[in-house]
Structure 1
Amino acid sequence: MDFTLQRGETVFLIGQNGSGKSTLSLLLSGLYLPTSGHIEVDDTTIDANNRWAYRQYFSSVFTDVHLFSHLLSGDGQLADTNLIHAWLQHLRMHNKTEIVDGHIQNTALSQGQKKRLGLLIAAVEQRPVLILDEWAADQDPHFRKVFYEQLLPLLKQQGHTIFAISHDDKYFHHADRIIQMHQGKLTDYDPASAHSSF
């Protein structure tokens, strides 16, 4: 596959279950290593010498979200308190949990709420690229609409490049670009074949 992610864009990745979408996101983030080919950033090839630095570009919320209770910014310092509380409000989580000294106090939450906290953690890290693997799948219809119509534009406004795996064709118009996986092959989105792609 040949794929370029431009700074500042919102890209949706679509495709059937098992087509390779999550694997691509893990390769993109540097958590999986390619068995052939290579990844470049600004014409610099990523290898063992700079892979750790490359991984620092990414914050991710994967399908099987794991929550770290400590909120840090991308430089390893405690995340900005004002930004944390703003995102608690954006995510409608201010009545569900509390943040004390940069620590999440309650993680005994539903899967959808855990993903909201996962997004909060990712947002306050303030890393350039945000990978969201079917983030909206566990949200109720109202908050799914909030995610696509309010949160994604806000994340983009705050400087994030967004790579989101999605099945929500109702909201595809919120992407700058849509790509699709089919049996491990990556192509541009073809609306004519959309019914068979996801």
Structure 2
Amino acid sequence: MTADRPHGGRREEILRAALDMIAERGYRGTSLDAVAEAVGLTRQGVLHYFPGKQQLLAAILERTVEVGRGDLPPHRLQADVPGQLAAVVAHNRAHPAFAQAYSVLMAESATAGHPARDVFRQHYRQVLDEMTRGYTERWGERLPSGLTPHAAAVAVLALLDGMQQQWLLDRDRTGDPEIMRAVLTVLFGTESPDLQP
């Protein structure tokens, strides 16, 4: 059954099946046997591509972060920061399975002994540091709103995650990118003409 499939194609198929299951059932509710059945392999067939469930989890986390950042990662500033982050929100809405898997894993990682706990902790520290550094380079010790760069970075991350959680519960919402732009325009102010792209 697998002879005509390229290695990368089968690996991607396993990754996507596992991601969809985790989005619906969580990490602990997803088994290698269920993933194997979904893609028409045995458990050993899945283990050929991913030596264990934690290696599969690591690949999913890497992919969800990669997809979530899109082409406009929030910690690499563009001239129009509110517009940049509104585009990140719109991008995540276009990839709901990845957004849901990321949110489910992030929530689960707060529980004791979850294998993704350290990954999420390091991810958030890294993104927070990069955003803080970017805001400091752009605005100095205070943003136009009066917030420190660190406080603004914490607030922006909370807004991104909270808005995504709300949208996952109510997918009829369509105005989140515009709301993000409006709120962050208050936070960051408007850019001077020389910073426009």
Q: TM-score, normalised by structure 2?
A: 0.26
Instruction: Report which of the two structures shows the higher radius of gyration computed on alpha carbons.
Output: 2
Which structure features the higher share of strand residues?
1
Higher relative contact order (CA 8 A, sep 6+): 1
Which structure features the higher share of helix residues?
2
Q: TM-score, normalised by structure 1?
A: 0.26
